[in-house]
Structure 1
Amino acid sequence: MNITTLELIRQREIPSPEQMGSYAASDVVFLLKDISHVDLEKGTGEREQAIQSGVHYSEMLPVEYQPTAEYIELFHQTLEQSAARIARHTAIVAEKIVERRGLNLVLVSLARAGTPVGILIKRYIELKYKVTIPHYSISIIRGKGMDENAILYILQQHGLETAIQFVDGWTGKGAIRKVLKESCDQMERTYGVSLDDDLAVLADPGQCSGTFGTREDYLIPSACLNSTVSGLVSRTVLRDDLIGPADFHGAKWYREWSSADVSTEYVDTIAQHFPQMMDQVEIRSDDNATDTSEITWKGWQDIEAIQQSFGIANINLIKPGIGETTRVLLRRVPWKILVDRLDNPDLQHIMMLARDRNVPVEVYPGLTYSCCGIIQSLGGGGE
């Protein structure tokens, strides 16, 4: 890097982050502007109509779904059953990161699904290698890109030689992976900074990531809930009247849901399994013998096939994978849910939510993912 690049980055005045969310500061620093005082929530129908009429999804927030007692019970059961599996995939991802990048790195998770995964990777590395890795959570928004000020702040704090590893929970069809690549390319054009756009995820059913725990589409329990498993932080917001040129992207801190918050319980439950994972010496290479790291974008190809089968004009109305299908049922107006088979144990919460909202479930032969959510078209565009 030449002096011009260093000077350019240092000249940008970026405010220090404010306290945000319910996680301990030792787990993560949210590089987000707290806009909790602003009324941004829209009902599901109103929000859907606005999105499909051209309003960007980042300019408003969904009303937080308050799950039933039965649903919360299912979340806890699922967490108990899958904690060791998630711990293993976390260990695989962490070992791949360390092997590739060493320990002079910064974890940058994508808010908000990436945040608990980033915390778990940070905790695993600290336990195994006795090194404390900085971890930030930043905003990335489809159609608007990654929060540039957040990246500049990280570079100011840690220097240009420190490797940045981006982290998310899972992949769907790969749209955010594409936004990340475009944003990294833009950073290089603007500041001359070369960022690796590799996105580390626990599950990569879309086959668009090179660093993953598995390519199986399975239930990561944090997908079941919203802010109460993500540090009480909302989806991120980017609106000109709220976010200034020097600000981080915005988010709300839902302090009022603190009694229902399971964010720390979630990561603690999984992290308890790390000691036994560290004893498994084969973990570095055991990432399912049938998996390769080749990026094929097969998930995107399958979604195009579904688009043709159902005559769906806008591919953004198709949300593949368990995580994205859950989001459709929690936040959007679903049309139907496609599943690989009706007895898939990973789909219990999907079936429960679909029954609750009277959404039809249909078996779709040959589906690469475990399931796929299709949003009701209201005749406009779409997120």
Structure 2
Amino acid sequence: MRASVFEGNLALPATMGSYKQEDVVFLLKDLSDIELERGTEDREEAIQSGTHYSEMLPIEYRPTDSYIRLYQETLQTTAAKVAEAVAVVSEQIVAKRGTSTVLVSLARAGTPIGVLIKRYIQAYYKVALPHYSISIIRGKGIDENALKYILRNHPGDEIQFIDGWTGKGAIRKVLVQACRDFAEKYGVQLNDDLAVLADPGCCSATYGTREDFLIPSACLNSTVSGLVSRTVLRDDLIGPDDYHGAKYYRNLAEDDLSNAYVEAIERHFSSVRQQAVKQAEELLSRTDDQVTWQGERDIRNIQRDFGIGDINLVKPGVGETTRVLLRRIPWKILVDDPDNPNLAPILLLAADRGVPVEKYPDLTYSCCGIIKPLRED
């Protein structure tokens, strides 16, 4: 006998994050008072020894003044491009799903993108779509309690999942499996489409571009994601009726750029809209299968060429490579072209951390970060 999404008691959403309440509701359990951070080397060793990454948090990287300057320059340079990708994705969402839709961004990289999509649709379609940010974790799945809360509060509405970008498609695969599991368990079939701004790995059908360009929010951590940490799932902290957890870094309020980031991109919506509508129409008219998983094949080649046993140590794309440099122990960075302007923050971080950069021709992506293996496979 199937369970019902109406079974179980669910908490009201906690007041979390530095975004306006009307921009996003975080369906997360507030773990702000609990010490969850571990140093980079300690955390890396734990992960590679079998501890799941969701059981602890990295120490938030405090960027140098020069890095913040580079972030600001990057934002100024790419804001219109990001705005166009947001507009292209938003137009596709409205065309495919209509306006009886709930936006569900995947915390935390998806959150600022979800806020932008909500604002675009509100500006041009005069409807304020509900927007929630929920947790999905590789190896553990999606937060089913968060989905239950959404389904109870928005009966009959479609759900559109949102993330920032794709790497090799690991989270997309987790989402596909999670939707299958949810259907088997509760008899509710969710659309597993994942809308992203950049899909260089060719693993999403709703995307703004396939170019592996730098989305500036990838450059920073919580200070561009509403001051919310990565999500946490640990049995001693998260009960059966709880949402997955996260911390709200109120102490970083002076460094917070979350709302300024959204506003900097939103200013370009009107100038890019005409081109974005055309681009969205072209993408919607395509009849060929756009999900080829080309990026995953590239990663298998890198894994073979460098003798890497665990594919999870290979992180492709500008966004994932930035994450490797910010919170993992990088071994080396592979780039398609060292003169690619999208790579400026990557090269600065790599130089700052003393990480070698190697040219690797014919990459689907602009770059790829390889995490240092700490033990023999």
TM range (shorter): over 0.9
Amino acid at match of 1:203: A
Q: Does 2:368 match 1:372?
A: yes
- Aligned ranges 1:179-190 → 2 under 5 Å: 179-190=174-185
Q: CA deviation at 1:65?
A: 0.4
Which residue of structure 2 aligns with residue 225 of structure 1? 220
Q: Does 2:62 match 1:66?
A: yes
SS in structure 2 of the partner of residue 195 of structure 1: coil
- Aligned ranges 1:255-334 → 2 under 5 Å: 255-280=250-275, 281-285=277-281, 294-334=290-330
- Aligned ranges 1:232-243 → 2 under 5 Å: 232-243=227-238
Q: Which runs of 4+ in 1 moved over 3 A?
A: 278-281, 286-293
Shift in CA distance, 223/240, structure 1 to aligned 2, threshold 3 Å:
same
Shift in CA distance, 293/231, structure 1 to aligned 2, threshold 3 Å:
farther
Q: Distance in 2 between matches of 1:109 and 1:89?
A: 16
Q: CA deviation at 1:279?
A: 4.1
Q: Distance in 1 between matches of 2:307 and 2:273?
A: 48
Which residue of structure 2 aligns with residue 338 of structure 1? 334
User: Quick check: 1:210–1:295 contact (8 Å CA) kept in 2?
Assistant: yes
SS in structure 2 of the partner of residue 9 of structure 1: coil
Q: Does 2:350 match 1:354?
A: yes
Q: Distance in 1 between matches of 2:39 and 2:327?
A: 9
Q: Distance in 2 between matches of 1:288 and 1:79?
A: 29
Which residue of structure 1 aligns with residue 97 of structure 2? 101
Q: Distance in 2 between matches of 1:250 and 1:233?
A: 10
Shift in CA distance, 87/286, structure 1 to aligned 2, threshold 3 Å:
farther
Q: Distance in 1 between matches of 2:343 and 2:125?
A: 36
Q: Does 2:201 match 1:216?
A: no
Q: Distance in 1 between matches of 2:34 and 2:227?
A: 16
- Aligned ranges 1:41-52 → 2 under 5 Å: 41-52=37-48
Q: Distance in 2 between matches of 1:380 and 1:12?
A: 45
SS in structure 2 of the partner of residue 208 of structure 1: coil
Q: Distance in 2 between matches of 1:291 and 1:82?
A: 30
Amino acid at match of 1:253: Y
CA deviations 1:74-94 (Å, max 9, x no partner) are 101111111111111100000
Which residue of structure 1 aligns with residue 28 of structure 2? 32
Which residue of structure 1 aligns with residue 173 of structure 2? 178
Gaps of 5+ in 2: none
Q: Distance in 1 between matches of 2:35 and 2:250?
A: 14
Q: CA deviation at 1:288?
A: 12
User: Quick check: 1:227–1:234 contact (8 Å CA) kept in 2?
Assistant: yes
Q: Distance in 2 between matches of 1:178 and 1:287?
A: 22
Q: Distance in 2 between matches of 1:107 and 1:147?
A: 15
Q: CA deviation at 1:286?
A: 5.1
Amino acid at match of 1:196: N
Q: Does 2:131 match 1:135?
A: yes
Q: Does 2:141 match 1:145?
A: yes
Q: Distance in 1 between matches of 2:213 and 2:285?
A: 17
User: Quick check: 1:277–1:283 contact (8 Å CA) kept in 2?
Assistant: no
Q: Does 2:76 match 1:80?
A: yes
Structure 2 counterpart of 1:363, from 335, 359, 363: 359
SS in structure 2 of the partner of residue 308 of structure 1: helix
Gaps of 5+ in 1: none
Q: Distance in 2 between matches of 1:69 and 1:106?
A: 38
Q: Distance in 1 between matches of 2:279 and 2:212?
A: 20
Structure 1 counterpart of 2:189, from 194, 197, 216: 194
Q: Does 2:212 match 1:250?
A: no
Q: Distance in 2 between matches of 1:192 and 1:286?
A: 35
Q: Distance in 1 between matches of 2:70 and 2:322?
A: 14
Q: CA deviation at 1:275?
A: 1.9
Q: CA deviation at 1:285?
A: 2.4
Q: Distance in 1 between matches of 2:238 and 2:109?
A: 22
Q: Distance in 2 between matches of 1:367 and 1:289?
A: 28
Q: Distance in 2 between matches of 1:30 and 1:237?
A: 14
Shift in CA distance, 378/241, structure 1 to aligned 2, threshold 3 Å:
same
Range with bigger deviation, 251-260 or 273-282: 273-282
User: Quick check: 2:92–2:284 contact (8 Å CA) kept in 1?
Assistant: no
CA deviations 1:353-383 (Å, max 9, x no partner) are 00010000000011110000000001168xx
Normalised by the length of structure 2, the TM-score is 0.97
Q: Distance in 2 between matches of 1:79 and 1:48?
A: 30
User: CA RMSD of the aligned region, Å?
Assistant: 1.7
CA deviations 1:227-272 (Å, max 9, x no partner) are 0000000000000111111000000000000000000000011011
User: Quick check: 1:92–1:286 contact (8 Å CA) kept in 2?
Assistant: no
Q: CA deviation at 1:11?
A: 2.5
Amino acid at match of 1:215: R
Q: Distance in 1 between matches of 2:281 and 2:158?
A: 22
SS in structure 2 of the partner of residue 10 of structure 1: coil
Q: Distance in 1 between matches of 2:61 and 2:9?
A: 37
Q: Distance in 1 between matches of 2:84 and 2:376?
A: 43
Q: Distance in 2 between matches of 1:120 and 1:314?
A: 35
Percent identical across equivalent pairs? 62
SS in structure 2 of the partner of residue 166 of structure 1: strand
Q: Distance in 2 between matches of 1:288 and 1:363?
A: 36
Q: Does 2:6 match 1:10?
A: yes
Q: Distance in 1 between matches of 2:287 and 2:23?
A: 30
User: Quick check: 1:211–1:293 contact (8 Å CA) kept in 2?
Assistant: no
Shift in CA distance, 288/131, structure 1 to aligned 2, threshold 3 Å:
closer
